Amino acid sequence: MMLERVNSPTSDFGRTVGNAFVRKLSSLALLSQMDLAALAGVCAHSRWEPARKDLVHEDLAPSGALVLLEGFACRYRRLSDGGRQILSFLLPGDLCDLDHNLPSGRDYAIGTLSVCNVAWISSTNYSELLSSHSTVAAALRTAKLLEEAILRDWLVGLGRRHAPERLARLLCELLERAQAVGLASADRCHLPIMQVDFGDATGLSTVHISRSLQALRLAGLLEIVARRLHVIDLPRLHAFCEFSPMRARLGDGFAVEASAITWGAA
């Protein structure tokens, strides 16, 4: 069985077609050749950053936008007691707008979780991209709406769900998002995220993450081995944590196909 293999018409491995950014936006809107060229141009210069490094922190405020091409990162906030709350995970293909976030300065930082390949877009290039490529702008707007929906989901989870459900939902979300950029099969994906990070995202302690994960494993729902998530029973997992896939993506053949197969096997 081929892991990470995705049913994309144009390549064996999703990552070989353009970059994750192009792939993600392509799944959200029908981009023209010129749009694609502009996206490629804007990501031409990227840098590798080490794991566990701040790309942006609260005071220091670079402008423009940042695109994560490979690796995992997160937005987070630090508290006075040293605690950390992760606000969202950034996966390959995700863009983070640094200009339009700030009424009175940014209130969060962005840090890598794994080694990351990051493209920085200057303010001028960014606003030009938006103004002269309306389809790209529309795709980014949709991406933003999805992000907001996820944030609301997290809020509901933190407020009203128990640890195992919270964790399970997070894993479902990550699997789905990885699939959307061609980095996951129907039931597996690489997840370079430590248990501390899961804890800081779900508002739980590391110890409790460990125990919740074990509960999910014992229930035969999933397992995580060597930084890889393997969902054993997706329908039951979804039912367990009341996760409903966001089918908000528009023209993406492969994602629809993959999920159809999954549900067919249920």
In eight-state DSSP terms, residue 44 is S
| Cβ burial, residue 201 (10 Å; 0-12/13-18/19+) | buried
Write the CB contacts of 118 (distance below 8 Å, at least 6 apart in sequence): 46, 47, 48, 49, 55, 66, 67, 68, 69, 71, 73
Nearest approach, Cβ of residue 203 and DNA (Å): 6
Residues that bind a copy of itself (CB under 8 A): 77, 79-80, 83-85, 87, 100-104, 107-108, 141-142, 145-146, 148-149, 151-156, 158-161, 200, 202-203, 242, 246-248
Using rule CB under 7 A, residue 204 touches DNA: yes
Using rule CB under 7 A, residue 85 touches DNA: no
User: How many residues sit close enough to DNA to count as binding (CB under 7 A)?
Assistant: 18
171 torsion bin: left (phi>0), alpha (psi -120 to 50), beta (else): alpha
What are all long-range contacts of 36-39, with beta carbons under 8 Å and residues at least 24 apart?
A: 38/129, 38/132, 38/133, 38/136, 39/129, 39/136
Name which of DNA, a copy of itself, none residue 207 binds, using a CB cut-off of 5 to 8 Å depending on partner kind. DNA
Nearest approach, Cβ of residue 191 and DNA (Å): 10
Decide: helix, strand or coil at residue 21: helix
Name which of a copy of itself, DNA, none residue 179 binds, using a CB cut-off of 5 to 8 Å depending on partner kind. none
For residue 261, what are its two tokens?
């197969």
For residue 161, what are its two tokens?
């769900």
Using rule CB under 7 A, residue 219 touches DNA: no
Using rule CB under 7 A, residue 205 touches DNA: yes
Using rule CB under 7 A, residue 213 touches DNA: yes
Q: Which residue from 94, 100, 258 is spatially nearest to 179, judged by alpha carbons?
A: 258
Decide: helix, strand or coil at residue 85: strand
Which of 208, 232, 245, 256 binds DNA (CB under 7 A)? It is 208
Name which of DNA, a copy of itself, none residue 57 binds, using a CB cut-off of 5 to 8 Å depending on partner kind. none
Please report, as residue ranges, which positions from 90 to 149 form the binding site for DNA (by CB under 7 A).
Answer: none
Name which of DNA, a copy of itself, none residue 210 binds, using a CB cut-off of 5 to 8 Å depending on partner kind. DNA
Name which of DNA, a copy of itself, none residue 206 binds, using a CB cut-off of 5 to 8 Å depending on partner kind. DNA
**Contact residues for DNA (CB under 7 A)?**
162-164, 194-196, 203-208, 210-211, 213-214, 226-227
